[in-house]
Amino acid sequence: MFKSGMLAVVGLTIAMLSGTTGYAGTLTGCLSSFGAVCPERDVGAALVLPHANAWAMDQHLEEIGHHVAPGAHAVVVLDQAGWHDTRCLDVPENITLLPLPSYSPELNPAGNVWQYLRQNFLSNRVYDDEEAIIDACCTAWNILIGVPNKIAEITSREWAKAVIN
């Protein structure tokens, strides 16, 4: 459960290809995994959705809102992805969005979450179908959440500690 504090929204899209010879393939669809983490409390919430758009982001914000402790408030850090446009989103009352400046990935430690998941669980794999992709994403996320202090370890920034403390 989230309490008040900073959350970082993270995202990953996995493409589904069809094809039988070599690397030839046709894009048949994709799934997008949305996640939010709180390094201070070592918790997170995630959804695997069929699209990366404002509707999906609304679903994700609702999910985050359910994980914020009663009476607490969360600040969600966002990059400049099109579906993070605050004018299009239905933001729960217990969440404030904090957009990062354009072209500043170094300010978003949540990128390390997807790098970790790709490197350890999701990259260079062949999935039989959409269900296998969903299972892989959910399994990877649950393993991440289940390892004590892993979120804090991969998302902490030495230069930001003075600001956080």
pTM of model > 0.85: no
CA pair distance 99, 81, nearest whole angstrom:
10
**Length of the chain measured in residues:** 165
User: Residue 160: what pLDDT?
Assistant: 59
Specify whether the CB–CB gap between 27 and 16 falls below 8 A: yes
Q: Which fold has domain 5-164?
A: Nucleotidyltransferase; domain 5 (3.30.420)
Q: What is the DSSP annotation of 139-155?
A: HHHHHHHHSTTHHHHHH
Residue 87 has pLDDT above 60, yes or no: yes
Query: What are the start-end ranges of the E strands in 19-161?
Result: 26-38, 43-49, 74-78, 95-99
Mean predicted confidence (pLDDT) in 70-98 = 84
**Least confident segment among 69-73, 100-104, 138-142, 157-161:** 157-161
Torsion of CA 135, 23, 25, 20, to 10 degrees: -90
Write the DSSP symbol of residue 23. Answer: T
Confidence of residue 29 (pLDDT cuts 50, 70, 90): low
User: Residue 83: what pLDDT?
Assistant: 75
End-to-end alpha carbon distance in the chain: 21
User: Residue 149: what pLDDT?
Assistant: 92
Mean predicted confidence (pLDDT) in 5-15 = 44
